[in-house]
Amino acid sequence: MTNLTFLGATGQVTGSCYLLETDAHRMLLDCGLFQGSNETEKQNEADFPFDPASIDVVVLSHAHLDHCGRLPKLAKEGFKGNVYLTNASFALLDLMLKDAVHIQLKDTEWENKRRERAGKELLEPLYELEDVEALLKFRKPVAYGEKTQILPGIQVTFHEAGHILGSSIVELTIKDQEKTKTLVFSGDLGNPNSPLLRDAEIITQADVLLLESTYGDRDHKPLENTLVELKETLAEASKTGGNVIIPAFAVGRSQDLIYWLGKLQRQGGLPQQQIYLDSPMAISASKIYAQHSQLFNIDDPEFIKVAPKGWQQWLQGLIYSETAEQSMAINRIAGGAIIIAGSGMCNGGRIRHHLKYNLWRRNTHVIIAGYQAEGTLGRILVDGKKKILKILGSEVNVEAKIHTLGALSAHADQSQLLQWASHFREPKPKLFLIHGEKAAALSLQTCFKRRGWQAQIPRVGERIMF
């Protein structure tokens, strides 16, 4: 029998991690960071509930930190196996982990200065750059659709997930004691309205299905309505002289936003002439996207011609802000600019500086274009619970208008998840809903029940056999 233990992104969205054990081998699906509140992120410091040296391989669905961010900790604590991932994820993983360790070391240094002054015990970083470098040597890229043996009796096939560049649906074929079983892990399923990536590939057979449920309790607004709202927001900000602040994930969301802004510009619907991409990581990720433009869909022939030449050819007025000095200079702009910066949930990075300098202005517009986990500043803004926020040591009154544009999400919504899963043939696989907050998973579970398919919502640490 094969055992599967749910260790993360179970009852919550972040910390994706699942342990698979056969009689002879142990492997992980993902090894991601827990992100959100301080309490949530404390989970990153805990010991793994297994010996990292005992893990033979890791299979990575994609390069977002909530799926890959604890891999260097795994290497630091003894893991020496291969990490299988797609070709595009190979490049993005280097970028993501080096940026993550840089931010982490910087934050630890700042916190330790505060602790030293207060006579408190100093913190140790989760991992160092040398741990990232060690982990990156274990990468083994695999092309989409290529069935690859990763251990005796275990094969992996990556299928397009349409979430970010290189994202995959993971199909594992496991032969254990003369029985062959198939496990399908959806990873993060993309929104079919993605302007850049191909739709998630349809899978029809499995014995076990792990399905994400991030937006399991809602449908996104129609894309057409969202684009109208985006156009109207930009027009209003231009009319009143305010800035438009957009927190965006460096990989995926930033590139989608640049596409849509370029599209509006070609239609005469973009009055702003200065658009700042204020994120070194997003700039680097955009270059990697351009290098893999063969993975884009072909919905927009004009864009496909321009894409390999770079994003500044597509969006006139796009300014790359790489240095800290360039970023600080943006804060002196009182109006008329669009500022795209990370982090996407406003829980770190340059976006917090821009919010500090703009949230108190009544003519500022903040566009939330992605999922905001519980406990993050982005979630507080979306919920509208507080008018006075403490940002970077300063109290800031929230006077800006907050817009949530769900249709720009890189995740499939409830109807899209149900539609994708409906293609599995009888007998239906055992279904487990993961990567979602409790309310979202429960809502999706109810939808499946109405369709005669029993979905289970596992607990952290729960173990099943198949």
Residue 1, pLDDT score:
86
From residue 159, give the alpha-carbon distance in Å to each of 281, 297, 322.
26, 15, 34
CB 334 within 8 A of CB 364: no
DSSP alpha helices (H): ranges in 373-462?
Answer: 377-383, 414-421, 438-450
Residue 12, pLDDT score:
94
Question: What average pLDDT does the segment 24-30 reach?
Answer: 96
Closest among 9, 56, 2 to 33, alpha carbons compared: 9
Residue 284, pLDDT score:
96
Q: What is the DSSP letter of 296?
A: B
Domains of the chain, start order: 3-218+410-465 (3.60.15.10), 223-408 (3.40.50.10890)
Whether residue 436 is predicted with pLDDT greater than 90 in this model: the reply is yes
Confidence of residue 466 (pLDDT cuts 50, 70, 90): very high
What mean pLDDT, rounded, does the chain reach? Answer: 95
Whether residue 407 is predicted with pLDDT greater than 90 in this model: the reply is no
Confidence of residue 437 (pLDDT cuts 50, 70, 90): very high
Whether residue 17 is predicted with pLDDT greater than 90 in this model: the reply is yes
Residue 233, pLDDT score:
95
Whether residue 38 is predicted with pLDDT greater than 90 in this model: the reply is no
Residue 298, pLDDT score:
92
What's the whole-model pTM score?
0.92
Phi-psi region of 177 (alpha: psi -120 to 50; beta: other; left: phi over 0): left
Report which of residues 107 and 80 the model is more confident about.
80
Whether residue 455 is predicted with pLDDT greater than 90 in this model: the reply is yes
**Residue 26: beta bridge partners?**
21
pLDDT tens-digit series, residues 340-398: 999 889 988 899 999 999 999 999 999 998 888 888 999 999 998 778 888 988 999 99
